[in-house]
Structure 1
Amino acid sequence: MELLSPGLGLIFWQLIGFLILLFVLSKFAWKPILGALHERESSIEEALTTAEKAKEEMKQLQASNEQLLAEARKEREAMLRDATSAAGKIRDAAREEGEKERKRMVEDAGLEIESQKKAALADVKQQVASLSVQIAEKILRENLQGETAQKSYIDKLVDDLNEN
């Protein structure tokens, strides 16, 4: 039973050893341990503060990025509108130019047709006149082979001229 209940001397020496250990630890170990704990605590606080600042900066950057994206979208939409408008103007100008060219070609073709028509009519008139003269000459040669027939025909023509 002696092991279960220590003696008073043993308790005294254990207390003395504990106090010496406590004194040595407080003199040499507690200050460095507490300093390291304080240093660690301050570095953790700095890291948290830095993380909070970084988080704020990220929020600001994200807001800035969203604003830039919105501006880029607006600019893209404006460029698309401008491009569409320009394409429409170019298309309209090309259509008008094509219409003018078509009208000019139609007018030129009409003038060409008219000049060819006049030339053809003049040619037909010339051919008709030539054929008429040839036919009249042949008819007159047949009918007016005698001198009396020629004189009577000439008198008839002169009378017709006088009446007109």
Structure 2
Amino acid sequence: MLLSSLVLGTAAEGVTHINYGDMFFQLIVFIVLLALLKKFAWGPLMGILKQREEHIANEINAAEESRLEAKKLLEEQRNLLKEARNEAQSLIENARKQGDIQREEIIATARGEAERLKEAAKVEIEQQKEKAVGAIREQVAHLSVLIASKVIEKNLSAEDQDKLINDYIKEAGELQ
């Protein structure tokens, strides 16, 4: 009762009395509680936050590396596409040049063939002309002999006939 009258008496007296023992005890308990919180709550919480921060930093780095790799691959693809276009253009140009060369070769071959046929035709015409001239000479010679034999009305010897034919052929050849 003494204790309760003391507490009641103290409460009735007002706030003039401060209990330093309780305050000290509460301060110690608060410090111990802070130490426990720091060791068991704040440390693991900071560790989790640190891990989260590292994870986010790693993800950002990985994303940046992926972006750089994608940019590099895109540039490579553009270069490959440019090379493919250049190669296609080169192939087209080569095909065009080969087509021109083949066209020129075909034209040259056709001209050569035409010239060869023309020369062959000239040779054949010359041969036919020689045959025709020979045949005409032979007929002229034969007719000359007949005319001469009728004019002279005598028979010529074979020697005279050959001489007469050759003379007439020479005259006919000179006239042409």
TM-score, shorter chain, exceeding 0.5: yes
1:64 aligns with 2:40: no
Match of 2:46 in 1: 38
**1:97 Cα deviation after fit:** 1.3
2:86 to 68, 78, 97: 78
1:50-97, CA deviations, whole angstroms, 9 ceiling, x for partnerless residues? Answer: 001111112212222222222222111111111111111111111111
Match of 2:144 in 1: 136
Give the distance between the partners of 2:91 and 2:35, measured in 1 at CA.
82
- Any unmatched runs of 5+ in structure 1? 1-18, 148-164
**1:122 Cα deviation after fit:** 0.5
How many percent of aligned residue pairs carry the same amino acid?
A: 16
**1:143 Cα deviation after fit:** 5.7
Q: How many residues align?
A: 127
2:122 to 86, 94, 114: 114
Match of 1:98 in 2: 106
2:61 to 29, 34, 53: 53
Over aligned residue pairs, what C-alpha RMSD do you find?
Answer: 2.9
Q: Structure 1-normalised TM-score?
A: 0.64
1:2-46, CA deviations, whole angstroms, 9 ceiling, x for partnerless residues? Answer: xxxxxxxxxxxxxxxxx9xx9998777872444332222211111
Give the distance between the partners of 1:146 and 1:35, measured in 2 at CA.
159
